[in-house]
Amino acid sequence: MTSRVYFVKVNISDPIAAVQDKLLRLLDKSNLFAFIKPFDSVAVKLHFGEEGNTGFVRPEYLKVICDKVKEKAALPFLSDTNTLYKGSLTNSKDHLKLAYQHGFTPAKVGAEVMIPDDQDQAQVREVNINQEFIQNAKVLSVYLEAQALVGVAHFKGHIMTGFGGALKNIGMGSATRKGKLEQHSNVAPVIYQENCVGCGACVEACPVQAISMKDKKSHIDNAKCIGCATCIAACNYLAIDVSWDSGGDVIQEKMVEYAKAILDSKKKKSAFLNFGIKITQECDCLAKDDPRIVPDIGIFASTDPVSLDKACLDAVNKAAQKDIFRELHPKRDGNKQLTHAANLGLGSLEYDLIVV
Ligand code: SF4
Ligand code: SF4
């Protein structure tokens, strides 16, 4: 099967209004939202950018997307989940505040912003998928309950997955912190004893009493730990973190299996946009202005997230005249996420690129 990927060239020197016009042309020519019906609630899944980051997709472009959804008499809302690492996007209150600071206000984009809280079990769902690496995916139920899904991703490099695009936005981005930890690591979090001040907040927060204090330093009992990641958010001293390297060999397969948990609920009810603008070495969780690694390429759109990511990857490598993400992250072959996703039936590795 060959899927259609639509593309419009965009350059950094284009004014925002010109990019908005091009995006509108892309949406019109591709008829990307043909599947959206009146009164559908449409989850527009994106990343609002960590504090200090400048790579995220701008709110002005989300306004164009939301306006187009509303033309169908549907009801869009912007959404993302809380991060696994400790930062400005770790809890729903701070996350929403930063999204607003970055310009994603209802007044500016014409849609509500919803940051579901994975500490509230009513907002969490386990989806039984019985795949090779993941049995039960832990996701925020809002993405299952919405009638349609539009994934909007900044296409860029990633320290753990080589690159991140549509598949990562949905797979990692719809998971609870427990689900993110399951994807990132095969073991419990680790405690950096040199940072631990012995405050005991993690002991209080752990739901299964897996943390104890010894000599005013905390310790995790790996046998008791259920990998919920609550302690990472509870520690204000950056003393608890994911063992980032312990599960890196299969993180991409796990991530794609999580994407399947969401996308199986959105058959013929989802579409994806990748912004190949300000393509950086690392993701938008980085709290800094990460420099470009290749010239701007443009915006890609498809109802097939695998073809979409493949088309972006090919375009980036063509612009760089080498496999640039592999060069920057030699241990991570991003092709793994594409082949696993194609094997799971999430899309095709073959595509036709249609320039509009
Ligand atoms: S919350 Fe952090 S600083 Fe406090 S005891 Fe736990 S690891 Fe140590
Ligand atoms: S990850 Fe969850 S279960 Fe494991 S030590 Fe931390 S709070 Fe306890």
What tokens appear for 74 in the block? 């549907």
Would the CB of 197 count as within 6 Å of ligand 1?
Answer: yes
Across 157-161, average pLDDT? 87
Cite the residue boundaries of each domain of the chain with CATH code 3.40.50.11440.
Answer: 2-182+247-355
CA of residue 140 to ligand 2 center, whole Å? 19
CATH fold of the domain at 188-241: Alpha-Beta Plaits (3.30.70)
Per-residue DSSP letters for 233-301?
HH-TTS-EE--TTTTTTSHHHHHHHHHHHHHGGGTTSEEEEEEESS-BSS-TTSSS-PPBSS---EEEE
Would the CB of 53 count as within 6 Å of ligand 1?
Answer: no
- Taking the alpha carbons at both ends of the chain, their separation in whole angstroms is 22
Q: Is pLDDT of 249 > 80?
A: no
pLDDT category, 248, cuts 50, 70, 90? low
The residue nearest atom 4 of ligand 1, judged by CA position, is: 199
The closest ligand to the CA of 194 turns out to be 1
Q: How far apart are CA 233 and CA 231, in angstroms?
A: 5
The pLDDT of residue 245: 65
Q: Specify whether domain 2-182+247-355 bears CATH 1.25.40.10.
A: no
CA of residue 227 to ligand 1 center, whole Å? 17
Q: How far apart are CA 283 and CA 328, in angstroms?
A: 13
The pLDDT of residue 225: 87
Contact 202, 240 (CB under 8 A): yes
CA of residue 237 to ligand 1 center, whole Å? 7
The pLDDT of residue 220: 96
Ligand 2 binding pocket (C-beta < 6 A) is 188-189, 205-206, 208, 210-211, 220, 225-231
pLDDT category, 246, cuts 50, 70, 90? low
Cite the residue boundaries of each domain of the chain with CATH code 3.30.70.20.
Answer: 188-241
Select from 221, 228, 232 the residue to mutate for testing ligand 2; criterion: most ligand atoms less than 8 Å from CB. 228
pLDDT category, 331, cuts 50, 70, 90? confident
User: Per DSSP, what are the bridge partners of residue 213?
Assistant: 218
pLDDT in tens, 282-330: 888 777 788 889 999 999 999 999 999 999 999 999 999 999 999 998 8
Q: Which atom of ligand 2 is nearest to the CA of 220?
A: 5
Q: State which amino acid sits at residue 229.
A: A
The closest ligand to the CA of 211 turns out to be 2
pLDDT in tens, 51-100: 998 889 999 999 999 999 999 999 999 999 999 878 889 999 999 999 99
Q: How far apart are CA 266 and CA 43, in angstroms?
A: 11
The residue nearest atom 8 of ligand 2, judged by CA position, is: 206
The whole-model pTM stands at 0.89
Residue 5, CA atoms < 13 Å, CB-side half-sphere: 30
Would the CB of 232 count as within 6 Å of ligand 1?
Answer: no
